[in-house]
Amino acid sequence: MSVVGLALMVMLLGAVRADATAPGPVLVMGDSLSAGYGIDADAAWPRLLEARLREEGYRHSVINASISGETSAGGARRLPALLDEHTPALVIVALGANDGLRGFDVAEMRRNLAAMLHGARDAGAGVVLVRMRIPPNYGPRYTAAFESVFEDVAAASDTVLAPFMLERFAANREAFQRDGLHPVAAVQDDIVATLWPSIHAALEAAGETPAP
């Protein structure tokens, strides 16, 4: 074998070893708020989260499995196959908004979210549940029942509960696209900043540490 061929083989073996020791990815299960609706996919907060992970010394990649219009039922159906395929170190569940906006049964949403959290835990992943909110015009009873689901499910499964991802700019009309629902690219960093303390806590709880 030539010297060049031997050098290439050494490089390839090194790459294989690096891949073998790379940590599992962070899997984001969300709806249009996470899928980057109306903006470039590279500007959506899950992609920016990957950059934040690198800045903090973590080597995890981010897989954005979010789908516009997704509900908790859809997420619960898709998650098992995604866990098998990607073996994530951390799963971020950011679903429920479409359940609420469509007036779906709160008890069913509770069951779906609980199934996702327990399924991720059973697969060996850390978990973050992102709190969701809906407009008050759905009535105080439904709104209160909807919002209580996130605290109850997180507490029952000992899961890190992250704040509402839009809370830093929810009152700022200029932070949203013309539909008034989906944030513009300029505030995606604010979403990462809002979620980061919870994501960091979940990574630590799962035994994930920054690279030395």
Catalytically active residues, by annotation: 32, 179, 182
Helix runs in the chain, H state only: 3-21, 32-35, 45-55, 72-86, 97-101, 106-122, 140-156, 188-205
Rounded Cα gap, residues 45 and 90, in angstroms: 16
- CA-wise closest residue to 99 among 167, 44, 150, 151: 150
Q: Identify whether the C-beta of residue 32 lies closer than 8 Å to the C-beta of residue 69.
A: yes
Per-residue CA distances from 162 to 30, 126, 127, 165, 200 (Å): 14, 13, 10, 8, 11
According to DSSP, the residues that pair with 90 across neighbouring strands are 26, 126
Rounded Cα gap, residues 184 and 189, in angstroms: 10
Q: How far is CA 47 from its chain centroid?
A: 11
SS3 category, 39: coil
